[in-house]
Structure 1
Amino acid sequence: MRRPASVRTCLLAAAAACAAAPPLPAAEITEMPDSTATDRTAVSVTVYNVGLGLVRETRVLRDVPHGVAALRFMDVPSRINPRTVHLASLDDPGGLVVLEQNYEFDLISPQKLMEKYVGREVEIVEQAEDLTTRSVRATLLSVNGGPVYRIGDRIVLNQTGKVTLPDVPPDLVPRPTLVWTIRNERAREHRVEASYLTDGMTWSADYVAVIAEDDASLGLTGWVTIDNRSGATFRDATLKLVAGDVRRVSARGVPMEESVATDRMRKAAAPQFAEESFFEYHLYTLGRPTTVKDNQTKQISLLQAERVPVSKTLLIRGQPWWFRNQRGTLTRDQKAEVVLRFDNTKKVGLGVPLPKGTIRVYKKDRSGAEQFVGEDAIDHTPRDETIRLHVGDAFDVVASQTQTDYDALSPRMSESAYEVVIRNHKDEDVTVTVREPVGGDWTLIRASHEGRKRDAGTLEFEIPVPANGQATLTYRVRVRW
């Protein structure tokens, strides 16, 4: 249906008027002063033992204008994960809104500056032998493999002299910076909280155990070692540590873990952390503010316990494949493992969750000097569990194991006899535990010493050995598999 001529004329006139009208002005963006670490009023750092840190910091933003503004949030870690950043106003959560976020990490460096000036004119200052200087104007053509200049109508390589630049390109920053475009309902001061995750922070536990002279008790001191390689310093921070196996997913979907170790602290100090259960982990909070510097390893006391009862075991282990076919001589001069065992219970002065780490064991010699006797790693250990440490192998207690008989009763059953000769070169009697991982459906036919079934696959003997003497264990087992 054709419109009347008068209507068509009005529509055309309106369209022409719209085309002639200027576009609506875009919202002006006000540049705010940079926010730096000096604006912080509080900061909390939670460190995980998988190479991860959670930072929550409070800053004051003064004179935030009404409308849309650009804020440069500086002094953040160079290893920050920008996808995890969250900003909120503590004074007016609904009045301050983040419209856009950019993480700028194109840092100023000689190479970057030269790259930004490719195609532009620079000044080269040369110094003569008489110390006079002259300036040459040149166009920088390339920096691949070294600078290439056009000076006049010539292409110049390996030009001597210092290159001076008129200014720093605006897209280079001196340090990693978060840049936010924000919208503010009304001009005012805001206290804001920014939270984010960063890589490059981790912690581990390290323990020092000093064995008593009679090997019957030990003193245990625990330390935490915090390693900060995040690219930022956090002054007067509230420090929290999370102990537990927190799962992380890398860009390829592969779980990641990290760990660090440290040497012994010479003197014990009072514990400074308060421990609490947190989700399926344990949280340790330092009872005072502390400064965590970039590229710093910090050690803080975690726990201390005295006179913890401990038992020492000399252990000879067998191998499961010894019981399936004919073998003959199994070992010669096998050293006994030295294993320490103690309970993590309140009754003995512990009874606290122990984060995974390394326990280093010392003992005083006759002069009273502490000597290192071995170390072992422990996993995260809840309270009321037993800790076992393999700290080394005995020098003076050795064993030889021999299969003295083998009888194949059927394709899936055999009987075999064994002899274990244990030699003790110490000036005191010892008891040696012989642990044989027999496996299968097994029966102890006979033995020279009483054997016990430690579990479904393990046969165990306790063998007394006199000082400067030896003891011989013989036994016969039937195995079906």
Structure 2
Amino acid sequence: MRAPLNRYSLALTAFIVCPLQAETTLPVDAGARQALSLTVYNQNLGLVRDTRQLPALSAGQPVVIEDVSRQMQTETLSINGAGAILEQTLNTNLLNHHSLLQHYLGRELSLARRNPADGEESLSAVTLLSIEGDRALVRRNEQIESIPLGQDWRFIFPQLPAHLISRPSLEFRSQGTPAPAPATISYLTGGLSWQMDYVLNLDANGQRMALEGLATLHNDTGTDFRDAGFQLLAGTINQPAPEAYRKANLAMAAMADASGMAPEAFQDYHLYSLPQRTSLLDQQHKQLPLVSQAALPVKREYRHEFLVIPRLDNQRHKSPAQTWLAFRNGADQPLPAGAVRTFAPDEQGRLQFVGGARIDHTATGQDVELQLGDAFDLSIERQQTLFSKEYDSQLLEYEVLVRNSAAADKQLQLAVNFTQPWSLEHSSLPMQQENSGRAQWTLDIPAEDKRVLRFRVRLKKPD
């Protein structure tokens, strides 16, 4: 007679007969999104804050957040509102032709070949052995064949591998939540950046200008960001060590969105909040107006400088003057670094491109100087006319000839740089000294005329 089952045996039997049901995976796509905001940096970096509605979660239930960046820095990931996180995984094994071929290496699949003569297609079973460039090696009927990928050959795959996905996704498990609630997923990601491009339009007399700045946003994250609030951070930041990412991420995530486009001073940077929500799709470059200043005073300057070296020089040097524009950022917003393209009207009033340059991050009240190019009508010739060695110094004399071929008067800022202590012995025109290693003259050259500057300097030998 069999002994009766005790309560422990009954429990074990129940476990074997009725195993625990595995929790079903909960997919959460962009349709569950309630809010989306991004902070974009100049350095291929962005901070994403994505809020989605989640149902009540069971402990350990897998949740798959779709439509996330494939360049997510997982060490910066923060999930709030979904319970205590047990584990999190970024899935970026994306489905494409190459990944399918890699999966079927050493496996059997169908090979289709189209006959170019009659268009008929034949099928045969082959084993894929290797892929190299645009050719593949297969085994068919115990023979090894090399076939070209594409053209009249194609593979037919028997099924889709479960581990290959069409879009990047984030999978996590938590200790669960008692009720439906919104959850915020925030992370730093590569693939997001922005740059500044300016158009500077001069008026007819070149004394005032209009400055328009466009921010160009780039998205190479593998996902679309629709109806998002954008903030653009102007400034260069150092990316911290991995253990410091999360603190930086949480601090940035706490920033409140500004209501307008005026920049907000944030730490040592400036934060621009775009006033309207917009969409930035994958592989998209989008331009948005960010800076607009009208009727700014501007000054056109002609400059030339050269270096005095204590040695004999018998050559006659010829070079054009450089054309510069100078203005002060007098508006109530700083100018982010970017490229500036300058246009000026011709005699018919049509704007013509006259030169470009780059500006650095420029705070309010700071001066901006742009080198446009060389002045066609203003040429400089210089020659050393004296070189004499003395006990503890060298005596050098130069002649600088400036020609103005234009029909208007010009003014040239001439600067001379020295590599060692110097003193001026003689100058045919008044000099303005900038610092110990540089001297400067202002030369007024009448239209279709010339000016000559002669100066003598003594260079003291280094001790």
Q: TM-score, normalised by structure 1?
A: 0.81
Q: Deviations over 1:182-213 (max 9, x none)?
A: 22143x32311001111121111111111122
Q: Does the aligned pair in 1 maintain the 2:168–2:222 contact within 8 Å?
A: no
Shift of 1:120: 4.5
Match of 2:213 among 206, 222, 226: 222
The residue that corresponds to 1:466 in the other structure is: 446
Match of 2:145 among 126, 143, 157: 157
Assess, with a 3 A threshold, how the Cα gap between structure 1 residues 282 and 22 changes in structure 2: closer, same or farther. Answer: farther
Q: Does the aligned pair in 2 maintain the 1:439–1:456 contact within 8 Å?
A: no
SS in 2 for 1:115: helix
The residue that corresponds to 2:339 in the other structure is: 358
Shift of 1:42: 1.0
The residue that corresponds to 1:342 in the other structure is: 327
Please give the residue correspondences for 1:17-96 in structure 2 after superposition, counting only pairs within 5 Å: 29-62=22-55, 64-89=56-81, 96=83
Q: Tell whether 2:127 aligns with 1:140.
A: yes
Q: Tell whether 2:431 aligns with 1:440.
A: no
Partner AA of 2:87 in structure 1? E
The residue that corresponds to 2:309 in the other structure is: 323
SS in 2 for 1:437: strand
Q: Deviations over 1:295-331 (max 9, x none)?
A: 1111111122222111111112112xx2312223351
Partner AA of 1:424 in structure 2? N
Q: Deviations over 1:236-293 (max 9, x none)?
A: 1000000011113699xxxxxxxxxxxxxxxxxxxx7221100110000001101111
Structure 1 residue ranges without an equivalent (≥5): 1-16, 252-271
Assess, with a 3 A threshold, how the Cα gap between structure 1 residues 110 and 250 changes in structure 2: closer, same or farther. Answer: farther
The residue that corresponds to 1:258 in the other structure is: none
Partner AA of 1:372 in structure 2? F
Measured in 2, the distance between the counterparts of 1:24 and 1:208 equals 74
Match of 1:400 among 373, 376, 381: 381
The residue that corresponds to 1:257 in the other structure is: none
Measured in 2, the distance between the counterparts of 1:364 and 1:23 equals 89
Assess, with a 3 A threshold, how the Cα gap between structure 1 residues 405 and 102 changes in structure 2: closer, same or farther. Answer: same
Measured in 2, the distance between the counterparts of 1:367 and 1:344 equals 30
The residue that corresponds to 1:111 in the other structure is: 98
Q: Does the aligned pair in 1 maintain the 2:417–2:438 contact within 8 Å?
A: yes
Measured in 2, the distance between the counterparts of 1:407 and 1:431 equals 32
The residue that corresponds to 1:387 in the other structure is: 368
The residue that corresponds to 1:256 in the other structure is: none
Q: Does the aligned pair in 2 maintain the 1:53–1:197 contact within 8 Å?
A: yes
The residue that corresponds to 1:7 in the other structure is: none
Deviates more, 1:372-381 or 1:439-448: 439-448
Please give the residue correspondences for 1:395-434 in structure 2 after superposition, counting only pairs within 5 Å: 395-410=376-391, 412-434=392-414
Structure 2 residue ranges without an equivalent (≥5): 1-7, 243-259
Match of 1:313 among 296, 301, 308: 301
Partner AA of 1:285 in structure 2? S
Corresponding residue pairs, total: 427
Counting aligned pairs with the same residue, the percent is 28
Partner AA of 1:66 in structure 2? S
SS in 1 for 2:100: helix
Measured in 1, the distance between the counterparts of 2:215 and 2:153 equals 52
Q: Does the aligned pair in 2 maintain the 1:29–1:70 contact within 8 Å?
A: no
Assess, with a 3 A threshold, how the Cα gap between structure 1 residues 27 and 277 changes in structure 2: closer, same or farther. Answer: farther
Match of 2:288 among 278, 281, 300: 300
C-alpha RMSD over aligned residues: 2.9
The residue that corresponds to 1:199 in the other structure is: 190
The residue that corresponds to 1:6 in the other structure is: none
SS in 2 for 1:76: coil
The residue that corresponds to 2:348 in the other structure is: 367
Partner AA of 1:45 in structure 2? L
